[in-house]
Each structure stands twice: as C-alpha cells, then as structure tokens.
Structure 1
C-alpha cells in the first residue's frame, strides 16, 4: 500500500473525573462509599484476587506501564475510569504509590448478576422446554485466568447442570441450567465475573445489484470496472444452504473446497433451509446468467455454518473458524429479540472484531419496532431494510435505536422488501422474501465488492494496479460503505435512529478513473505503531478543489470489548474534527438539517463519526483524529474522505525519520537509529571522524531529530 505520511503526534493532558460513579448493569455505584482494600492491606487482612482500580482520568500508555510494572494485570474497563485488575502477582506497595490511582476496591458479588436473570420470557419450543420446570438457562463468564474446572465444580455443588464449558477469547464461559437462586449463588465464586440469561436466537426474515451500486436501473459501475467479488469469501451463519441449487452448485462436480465453483467450506452436515439458501443467494449466488439467482457479489464464494444455539462462545469460535478458512466478511440474519442488553454475545462479536481487525461482521437488525440484540454490539455493521424499486428511498423494516446506552444503531440500509433470491433444494428456482434478513446479505455482497476494490489495487489511482493492492481492515470497509450512503427521503431526519446513515450507494465512495469524486483513506490497525493512545492526535491535510461535490469524512474504529458487567459499552473514545481554511471547525456527528454544523460537543460514545458539507468552499482543510480516551490497548481507526479533493503530502522530514509512521519523528525513529548505531551500520556514521562510531554521531542524530518535520 502507498502510505501518505502522518502528521506529528501531539499529546494533551486529560481532565480528571474525581469520584465518578461506577456504571454496572446491576446498578450505578458511588465508589466513595466503599472501603478501599488498601485499608485492609494495612490491617493485615487477606486481599481479593481481583480488584477494581479507579483512576483520576483515562488510561494512557504510561499509566498502563506503571500498573503492569507493579505485577497487576489489566482485565477490563468499567465506566468511569475504572479497571478490573488481577492482583495475584502484584506488589501492592508499588500499586499503592501510583499518584493517579484514586481508589482500589474489591469486586463485589452484587455486580456479577444480570437483573434479568429468571425473568426472561422465551418463545422458541427449545427454550420453553428447557424452562418448563422453572429452571433457567444461564451463561456464566469467568475472569481471564480463572480455573474453569473449579467453577464448574462449584456449579455442580450448587445443584446446577453444566451444559458446556467453552473458551471465548481470553476467558471461559459455562452454560448452566438450574434454579434461579442456585445460579445466582455462583456470584460468590471468586473466578466468576458475570452471570446472565442464555440468549434465544431466531431468524430475521435482483434489483439489489443496481440499487446498491448506482441507483440507476441497469447501471453497474462497480461490475463494469471488473469488480464482481473475485477472490472474496463471504461467511454465512444461517439455516442450511442448498448446495445443489444452481446458485451454488459446481457443474464440474468438484468437491466442496478450494476448487469448488462456489463453496470453500461447509462446516456442518448438508441440507436445505429456505432462509439460509435465500440469504446466501442474495450475497453471492450465481446461476451463471444475469437473473434473479445472481447475488450482489456473484463471483464471491461461500464459507458456511449453521447458527449457534445459546452459546456465546460458539459465535466467537465460528467467526474465528470462518476467518481461518479465508472469509473476512461475515453476514448474519438472526438475533436475540429477548433483550436489548449489551450481553456476552455482543461482547463476543466485539472481541472477535477487536482481535481480528481484517474482519467486518454484519448483522440484520430485528424486524420488531425497537432495536434488540446483538445488533447493539459496537463493532458490527447493523443493517435495516429499505423498500425495493421504485420506492428504495422508503423504510421497509428494522428496529429503531438507540442502543440502551445511547449509541446510534441501525447504521445502514439496503433493499429488503420483496427481495427475489434462490429457493429450493435443487434446480434454479427463485422467490421473494421480506425483512432485514434480506438486506444484510446485500450489504455483505457490497462489502465484498469494496474489499476487492482495495485488494485489487484500485486505490488510489482508480484502476487496478498490483503495486497498490493491500488488505483493508474491516473498519476501512465499513467506513467506505458508510461514506457512500444517501438519505432515505421516505424517513424524516438525517442521520437518525430510524435510518442510521442511510441507504448504501457504492458509486459515491469508490473512485474510478474519470470520476469527479476522489477518495483519501487511512487504515490503521489496532496495536500498530500508528495506533493511538490517550492524548495522541493525527492530521490529514487535503485541498478541496471545487464546491461541485459534497465533502464527506467518515471515521470508524473497532472498540475494545466492554466488560460484561458494565452498563455502558464504550471503552475507547476517538473524536473526528475538520478544520476549514475559513476559521471554523466541524466536529463528528454534530448535524443540523442533514449536514454538519459548527459548535456542539465531541461525540464520546459512538465508534462511527461523520462530517458532511454540501457545498464546501475551495481551500486547504485538515481532518484530525483525536485519541481522547484510549483505556484499553492502542486504538486503530479508518478514515475515508470523499469529494473533489486532493491530498496534501507533507514535505519530507529530516534524515532522522527512520521508522514508520514516516512524516513523524518519535521514539520509533530513535530506536531505529540506536539499532543502526549498535550494529555499526554505515548509515549511522553521521559525523567526523568517519569510520568511527562515537558521541559525535549521536550528537549529529540529535541535531537532525531536533530539526523536526515541516
């Protein structure tokens, strides 16, 4: 990938949040009313193995290093500015002297139990049968590092049936069944972090191809550029896909696998389900002719498994399996309409996306009136359904947001009303179906086309160039899709909690040779050298050449998964800003009348932020991404800028610029020079007497470093 230099990283000091409340799902807690465990330490009492530490502001890299130097391990974030620590190997005296630590308190059992436990009403026969005797199915999440066998024994001792024990990311989950009081009693076990009701998963029920590309009947600009899904794999979790339907069959008779025409992997027994076959057909089906059995990314191929039962870990593990089989786009037309909570299923999706940021997970939102679960997860792309031609600007189906903690969902729409796609266990039949289930695979197909745009090297020239090819992150694919959206005229207000950012229109955000609308992108992975910590800021300078095109800027990041106990899911906070050459600044997500407005406050909770200007005046602008509060890890991000724009490359830095990100002088450049100096590389020999490595070379490097970047 051709990378453009980033601007200087600037550090700012975060403000204090002295005495901020702790926001648990079980209730809001005033930490000042709880005894600090350091008092117990001074009295010689035994300390708990896990504690909650509240800081005087957000976490940053230096604070994390100091905490970890004490031997403590940071496990999770609890709003506000509090962190779950494993202190089994900690030196408490080292933790005690840290000036930014306000309090250290024990993790109370009352914070471990969902208020919904024992009160959820189930609908499916399977779940009703499980609960008929008065027992409740529940999922018990353990702290990272906790002994799963000990927790399972404790559950059995309480009279519970342990259905399964599975690893999800860095922590075990137990599925248990038993009396509500017995389930609640597990909160006293040291290794238990959270207990909640098991989820209930249900399904969410040709014009798509041109509507998502151009919205002009018969116009396929993305196909015309040679992008039809070649080289892309889409993962579908749904009912069984009919492998003998003409949309998926292989006329040559090749077995399922790398040589099969349409199916890379089928991770369960073969069979037929109407819903799964219809969904897969919309995303990637191809009968070989331009008819209703052809999907949006019709040259993409399928990785498949059925939906999980009530296992959160199965969601994480199936996503991971599909990724290991080559799929980076994952479409899901099912959900849990029994809750609006950010639960373990949401956390599993966010955790997968946080750890594997090449991926984009897509979910259909509920067809009920109110947003449900797991479309309320932070990192997935939540999809609603618009009407079909000629009313594609109107609403069809989808629950209205916000999420329970105020975030904007749904995010994007595609046609899902009377969508025609594949049906039948064999043959080439098609039929119509309606619902968000039909819209999500259309977005998945569009996402595969966007991914191919980058993997084939269309950015930045607008034509396929092998030397420009790169693998985009899921955040860049999501940002590109959202940057393409149009207001649905049949829904009042934009953006809104009904339509999110609107209906996808790919031609708005994919630049091809000859187009008047150009793109500038940034793609930074979580944990990379270019990722942000608290106080870091990056700048992207560019020029608006005319006011003939709308200017749109979209920033997306995959946030760290929230603690399952927390009532507030956001963990890290990046903010988007735009400085104009005329003295005003625009902030992400501050809108009036469908376009950005001056004033307002930075958005502290959404991991999608957008700025729109209908008729931007020509001049030099600067987009800025600010690391306002990065409490867990180092935060990656993606930015897409679209309009009649030209990127302004910074002049080169001094000779001291030795390491990525180029255009910025920082500790990585110093480390690179020290490495060259220690190996007596000729490039480190900067001063006379040449041929000798000494203090004069080091002084000359410091001089070069202090010259900085223009």
Structure 2
C-alpha cells in the first residue's frame, strides 16, 4: 500500500495545479473573508489568481463544466437573472459558487451580470480526492486487503448531473478499469470501479466525471438506559408515566441479523408484517447476530416484563435490513426502503474508520434526509479517538457513548471532532458502557456489550418517544389532545433531543468537540402538565422555508423562576457537491435578544454558556443559545436566513425554560406574514400614505409593525429605519 500511495502522489502532482493555491488541509471550511476562494477537497483555490473564462474565449464549449462564482449568496432574483441568460446551474460549491453548463450563454452575457465575479473551467485536478491511498487505518476485510495487495484500488466515481451513466461506464472500461456496478442517485450517475491507480489521470479527464474517491469499508461499532435518557433519576420515567412508550413509532435498523426468535421480538401468533407485535419488515434471510440483536433490543425490544429486555421505546416496532454496500446509491436506497416501510428514526451502529472525508456515503445520507424530511438518521461515531465517516454527514445525529450509572456523566467511547471542515460532531451521548440487552442465539437471555454501537439505539429510542410526543398531540398542552397531533420534521425531533442534552461534567469544556452538546435527557425539553419548565417550538418544512435575507422572530417572556433558557435551531439541507471542501450550503443564524437589547449569537459560548460578541456560525446546521440565569422580561428569538444558496430552507426551533409567548410586534413586517422581506415594501408604503386603506387591506395587522421609530405614528420618519432593516 505504501508503494501505491507514492504513485498516487506523483500522479496528482503530474495533473498540474494551474491556478490552485498552495495545498491546505483537506476540507477547510469558509471563513468570513472567503468570497474569492473555492474550497474543494482537492485544493483551496484563490479565484482571483485564476484566469477568468469570460475573457479568453468567444464562446463556452458544449460538454464542459464551468464554475460560476457570485459576489455574495444566491437570491431568487439572481437565480432568475442567471437562468434568463442561459446559465444551467448545478451543485453549489463553497463559497458562493456553482457548477454550471454555459453553452446556452456567451462570455459577453455573463460579463453583463453584475453579481458574477468569476467564471472558470472545472479542472481535472479538482476531480480527485486526496484521500485516495491515504487511509487512516489499514483495510480489514479480506476483499479489500486482497485488492491492496495487488496494487489495485476500489473507487467510487460520481458523474455530473444528467450524464449518461451507461455510456460513461463503457468509456471507463476502455481505460482498463473493471466496473463493478452503477446506478443513479437523483440525476447523478455513480459507479464503483476497480483499477490501477495509474488510471486516475485518464479517469479525471473524462468529461462526464465530477469526482473520484476511494470506496469506503464497513466496520461495526460495538435498563438503566430507559430512565437515564428520560430523567436521569433512578426509576423515574416521565414519558412512560404520561403514556408515551413508542406506540405507533418505527425504528429502522441496519445491522447484523436480528434474532427473530428471541423473546424481545418473538410473535408466535403472527408472521412478520403489519400484525407482528415487533417486526414490520425483515429485509434479509433469517439469522442471529449478536451485534444486531443487541442494538435492536436496546431500541425497541420488549420481552413483556420490566427488565433488561425492554428497550427505550419498548412499544415501538422495527424494520430491519443488513448493512448496505458502501456506496452513495446503496445508502440512499436502503434508507428509502425503510422509510417506505414506516421507519422514521434510523439507527446505524457501523461506519468507515478509514477516512474523515465527506464522501459519497455522507452525500447519500444527506440526500435521503433532505428528500425525506420526516426521517431522522442516527449514527454511532467511531470507537477510535478521532471522528471518522459517515457520522460526519450534516443532517444525521452523531452519537457517542457515556458510562452507565452512577457514572453517566463520564466518557466511555467515541471519536472526537471536529469534522475535516470544522463542523461540530459528535453531537449527543447516551450510556454505551456495559449495556445489557438481548443476546442472540438464546430464548430470552441478556448479554453486556460496550461501545458507541450501544449508545446509538438508546438515543434512537429516545427519539421515538419524542416523536410520539408530537404525533400524539402532547404539544403544547402537556397532555394528549387529538386536535394537537402533527407529524414533526426530523429537524424538530433532532432539535428537541439536542435541546434536552445536559453537560457531561466528566468531560472538560462545554460544548466541546468530544462531548458535543452533552448527554440526552428528554424531560429537559418535553413539557408535561404540571412541569415548571415550558416548551415552545416552530417547525417549518423546506417547501415553506426561507430565501436569502428573510427572517422571523418569536417573542418570549422569561419568568422569574431560577432555570436556564435554552434555544436550539436545526435545519436539514441538501448534500454537498462531490469534491466540495466544505459541506455547508445554506446558512441560517440564531440570535437571542435579552431585555435591554443584549445580543447572543448561536454557538458563541464561554464557560459553559452563551456569551456576547462573536460572529454567526458559517458551518453548522445546529445552533444553540444557553443562558444559565437569564434575566426576567421580554426576549426576542430570531432566525435569520443569511445565505440560502440552494432551494428554500426550512428549520426547527425549540425554546425551553420558564418561557411563554407574547403577542409579537415584528418591526418591518408590514404585511404581517411573520417574515420581514421585500414583500413588506408595498404594505409599508400604504401604511404611510393611507392608514385607513392599510387597515382594511391587512385586517388585524395594525400599524405598530410599521412604526419603526416607535413614536406612535407611521410616517416618513420611519422610512430610513425600514430601509436599513431590509438592507436596501
């Protein structure tokens, strides 16, 4: 393998790096001053040092891919202008750039678009992952060890959108590669090939190819949990007490074969399917694997008695499959299968310890999550010391293992972050040390196992309880009300779990790259009748989400009770482009304004709680604000769409503490749609020109939202503040 690595390095050098900045750490994410850089896995590129393709040609070649970089985030107006000029935009690339085909436009037309600051060809050198041949650990499976011994590599090759996969596979075979398989993920073809590393230059020169990376390799990641994840008080299970035990909820599990004859899952009266008491679908031949049986038992197992053979969501059910092949296509398809069979929380206690890269496996998970907004994917993080893959995907929940009672505040197992592009993972913990659960090959016995593998189904089970809280109508009253039932987004379930998490005092620093946001403690977030701690949520799906520049505010009154105020923002966004050096695409920002106008930004922490100052978080799609002793009075919780570069961006917001909503006056929201944006301009103008007609046109809205200077009158003196708020 060492010889192969030397060859790969020489080949990459031979491809040339015209216009590519000096090599930087793979995956460095965008900084505040990065508007003239491309962040790719292969290189960091200063676009101002690369020739602009608008200046050196009379026309753009058909069949070539270009990068179009804007001078700021995408807006609907900018997208419309580009499309009107004949630009066909593809994947987003950080920062403010897009893959594009330009054969339907001209260099002159592109130069006339003021927001376009640079256009360049997508270079062959950018198509090759620098992680090829540079695994963090040796191969462990016989198949991959044999390939490496022959000097061969197994590669995942991603094509540009709308390329003909069959034709590309044929051309790749003529280069001397063996094509193992190929399929589409959305509009992109992905193939798995085996070949000599000497093929890389020719493969990267293939016009249809967007990115080449090494195929991953699978490794597994080896009933006190029930009260620890709910209340952390021995024997106290508030969800069970209030009737929430997982009924109607389904866990998807990909693992070793679950022993269907173990008493935790056995139903001698009904075959597997809708009537089976535990297993709705078993997408594999029968078997009895110790790992899969144990994890299934922790999540939803139920022997019928209150002991170690009852899982966290013991009235929930299971859809099961063995671990898929490690490709973007297989990962996406396996999750879709379980989603279609009813699974809404998906527990995975396995991963690829060979890399820290955001690769096809991560893209497959993020694509599934983006296309199926009610499904939450969870992954156990590696048991090695450094965070690996695919727990570094954006939209999943990455789980580490704490010790068990009485030491659940201490670390047990899990790789520390951050990810290669500086995002915070792992995110949450649950006990995974000496966890007792179902033992395969026995009628009704238990066994003890240790690792993040054991923690992941515990958090999944907790997530099933949280999901039932919403689907059974416990929010907002704290009791089950049929009229209040709704289907939560995965982002809301994730935000609720993260909001509930508590600092693990056995790990220094909070939050940190080792413990993330702490150990799950669901009762911290869920409100039941009589609780002092209250809950406020917002759940906005992507179809109804933000574009760049929009925002919304939630006014809350904080009472005098001595308890923390915690606010959590989570969103589910599209997968990053193959080869992108930073996974982040859309940037929302959380701001919390205290009485007296003190501003706290999401993820700006010191000494275990939020502090003033700092800047908005550009990387993470989880943001939190925590004040241990908040001042009583009126607060504003604000969500801002700083940059929405792809689609429209929804979000979930969870607020807990001694809190209550009050009637909002959202300054600038003149049309009272809950968002301050350019759609308010006409309403604001009408409020000044003709207040009576305004009140007839916008009944119930009132003039207070347009009284920007607070003098009790809407007039021309309010215009400057309104214009400044919109950033016009």
Task: Normalising by structure 2, report the TM-score.
Answer: 0.87
Partner of 1:402: 418
Partner of 2:722: none
Tell me the distance in 2 between the aligned counterparts of 1:487 and 1:89.
Answer: 55
Partner of 2:461: 445
Q: Structure 1 435/45 Cα, relative in aligned 2: closer, same or farther at 3 Å?
A: closer
Alpha carbons 2:363, 2:393 under 8 Å: kept: yes
Q: Does 1:215 align with 2:232?
A: yes
Partner of 1:82: 97
Instruction: Choose the corresponding residue for 2:166, options 115, 139, 149.
Output: 149
Deviation at 1:347, TM superposition (A): 1.3
Over the aligned positions, Cα root-mean-square deviation in angstroms equals 2.6
Instruction: Choose the corresponding residue for 1:110, options 112, 125, 129.
Output: 125
Tell me the distance in 2 between the aligned counterparts of 1:551 and 1:84.
Answer: 42
Superposition pairs for residues 250-265 of structure 1, below 5 Å?
A: 250-252=267-269, 254-265=270-281
Q: Does 1:333 align with 2:357?
A: no
Secondary structure class of the residue paired with 1:559? coil
Deviation at 1:527, TM superposition (A): 2.7
Tell me the distance in 1 between the aligned counterparts of 2:64 and 2:698.
Answer: 46
Partner of 1:179: 196
Q: Structure 1 466/583 Cα, relative in aligned 2: closer, same or farther at 3 Å?
A: same
Alpha carbons 1:40, 1:46 under 8 Å: kept: no
Deviation at 1:649, TM superposition (A): 3.1
Superposition pairs for residues 575-594 of structure 1, below 5 Å?
A: 575-594=589-608
Partner of 1:548: 562
Alpha carbons 2:61, 2:103 under 8 Å: kept: no
Tell me the distance in 2 between the aligned counterparts of 1:211 and 1:657.
Answer: 47
Residues 166-215 of structure 1: CA distance to partner in whole angstroms, max 9, x if unpaired?
12233110000011111442111111100000101110001000000011
Q: Does 1:386 align with 2:402?
A: yes
Residues 419-428 or 450-459, more deviating: 419-428
Residues 82-91 or 373-382, more deviating: 82-91
Partner of 2:636: 622
Partner of 2:187: 170
Task: Normalising by structure 1, report the TM-score.
Answer: 0.89
Residues 135-171 of structure 1: CA distance to partner in whole angstroms, max 9, x if unpaired?
1100000111011112101110001111000122331
Alpha carbons 2:53, 2:107 under 8 Å: kept: no
Deviation at 1:105, TM superposition (A): 0.9
Instruction: Choose the corresponding residue for 1:601, options 615, 631, 641.
Output: 615
Partner of 1:675: none
Superposition pairs for residues 241-640 of structure 1, below 5 Å?
A: 241-252=258-269, 254-528=270-544, 531-640=545-654
Alpha carbons 1:48, 1:106 under 8 Å: kept: no
Tell me the distance in 2 between the aligned counterparts of 1:54 and 1:81.
Answer: 6
Deviation at 1:663, TM superposition (A): 7.8
Superposition pairs for residues 37-52 of structure 1, below 5 Å?
A: 37-42=53-58, 44=59, 46-52=61-67
Deviation at 1:699, TM superposition (A): 12
Secondary structure class of the residue paired with 2:67? strand
Deviation at 1:113, TM superposition (A): 0.4
Residues 296-327 of structure 1: CA distance to partner in whole angstroms, max 9, x if unpaired?
00011001111112322111111111111111
Q: Structure 1 272/702 Cα, relative in aligned 2: closer, same or farther at 3 Å?
A: closer
Residues 478-519 of structure 1: CA distance to partner in whole angstroms, max 9, x if unpaired?
110011111111111111111111101111000000000000
Alpha carbons 1:354, 1:560 under 8 Å: kept: yes
Q: Structure 1 176/652 Cα, relative in aligned 2: closer, same or farther at 3 Å?
A: closer
Q: Structure 1 18/133 Cα, relative in aligned 2: closer, same or farther at 3 Å?
A: closer
Deviation at 1:118, TM superposition (A): 3.4
Instruction: Choose the corresponding residue for 2:657, options 636, 643, 665.
Output: 643
Deviation at 1:284, TM superposition (A): 0.5
Partner of 1:64: 79
Residues 258-267 or 31-40, more deviating: 31-40
Q: Structure 1 669/525 Cα, relative in aligned 2: closer, same or farther at 3 Å?
A: farther
Deviation at 1:127, TM superposition (A): 1.5
Partner of 1:202: 219
Tell me the distance in 2 between the aligned counterparts of 1:49 and 1:533.
Answer: 30
Tell me the distance in 2 between the aligned counterparts of 1:19 and 1:666.
Answer: 25
Secondary structure class of the residue paired with 2:496? helix
Partner of 1:690: none
Partner of 1:192: 209
Partner of 2:249: 232
Secondary structure class of the residue paired with 1:187? helix
Residues 602-611 or 389-398, more deviating: 602-611
Secondary structure class of the residue paired with 2:83? helix
Alpha carbons 1:367, 1:436 under 8 Å: kept: yes
Tell me the distance in 2 between the aligned counterparts of 1:376 and 1:653.
Answer: 39
Tell me the distance in 2 between the aligned counterparts of 1:472 and 1:411.
Answer: 20
Alpha carbons 2:54, 2:110 under 8 Å: kept: no
Alpha carbons 2:550, 2:676 under 8 Å: kept: no
Q: Does 1:53 align with 2:53?
A: no
Partner of 1:9: none
Q: Structure 1 335/204 Cα, relative in aligned 2: closer, same or farther at 3 Å?
A: same
Residues 26-48 of structure 1: CA distance to partner in whole angstroms, max 9, x if unpaired?
11112223332223442x57355
Partner of 1:686: none
Partner of 1:124: 141
Q: Structure 1 654/124 Cα, relative in aligned 2: closer, same or farther at 3 Å?
A: closer
Alpha carbons 1:343, 1:564 under 8 Å: kept: yes
Alpha carbons 1:17, 1:81 under 8 Å: kept: no
Tell me the distance in 2 between the aligned counterparts of 1:649 and 1:25.
Answer: 48
Alpha carbons 2:54, 2:108 under 8 Å: kept: no
Tell me the distance in 2 between the aligned counterparts of 1:240 and 1:19.
Answer: 49
Secondary structure class of the residue paired with 1:68? helix
Secondary structure class of the residue paired with 1:174? strand
Tell me the distance in 1 between the aligned counterparts of 2:381 and 2:224.
Answer: 21
Tell me the distance in 2 between the aligned counterparts of 1:636 and 1:560.
Answer: 11
Q: Structure 1 469/90 Cα, relative in aligned 2: closer, same or farther at 3 Å?
A: farther
Tell me the distance in 2 between the aligned counterparts of 1:579 and 1:653.
Answer: 14
Deviation at 1:70, TM superposition (A): 2.5
Alpha carbons 2:277, 2:317 under 8 Å: kept: yes
Alpha carbons 1:386, 1:413 under 8 Å: kept: yes
Alpha carbons 2:552, 2:676 under 8 Å: kept: no
Tell me the distance in 2 between the aligned counterparts of 1:288 and 1:490.
Answer: 35
Tell me the distance in 2 between the aligned counterparts of 1:500 and 1:656.
Answer: 40
Q: Which has the higher contact order (CA 8 A, sep 6+)?
A: 1
- Alignment coverage as a number of residue pairs: 667
Q: Structure 1 522/669 Cα, relative in aligned 2: closer, same or farther at 3 Å?
A: farther
Alpha carbons 2:179, 2:193 under 8 Å: kept: yes
Residues 6-27 of structure 1: CA distance to partner in whole angstroms, max 9, x if unpaired?
xxxxxxxxx9968612111111
